[in-house]
């Protein structure tokens, strides 16, 4: 059983720690921009798999793939290393490793 964090949700670092103690070596998080931001903010993401569709979406009413306070200015950006880029029909799959220590 996991205690809730300060926002009333599950503590992702505590969950990852618990799963590691149970010999789980990998977890796939699939959700929206709030979950993505929480996982990156909490430092539990080692790799991103992003799918890019050939369509334009944006503006004040369009949420990006990360919610939360983000990484502005650019100097605070989280560096990633692109591992692979693959075309899947009209879409593009990008795999990138997250480097929290840089």
Residue 90 lies in a domain: yes
DSSP letters, 1-37, are ---B-TTSSB-HHHHHHHHHHTT---------HHHHH
Tens digits of residue pLDDT in 17-76: 999 999 998 999 998 998 999 899 889 999 999 999 999 988 888 888 888 887 777 877
| Residue 74 placed within a domain | yes
Question: In the chain, how many domains are there?
Answer: 1
What pLDDT, on the 0 to 100 scale, is given for residue 54?
96
Report if residue 4 sits inside a domain. no
Residue 12 lies in a domain: no
């Amino acid at each position: 059983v996991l205690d809730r964090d300060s926002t009333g949700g599950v503590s992702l670092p505590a969950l990852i720690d618990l799963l590691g103690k149970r010999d789980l070596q990998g977890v796939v998080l699939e959700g929206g921009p709030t979950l993505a931001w929480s996982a990156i903010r909490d430092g539990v993401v080692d790799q991103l798999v992003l799918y890019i569709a050939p369509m334009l979406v944006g503006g004040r009413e369009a949420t990006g793939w990360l919610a939360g306070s983000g990484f502005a200015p650019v100097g605070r950006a989280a560096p990633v290393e692109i591992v692979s880029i693959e075309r899947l029909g009209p879409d593009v799959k990008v795999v990138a490793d997250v480097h929290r220590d840089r």
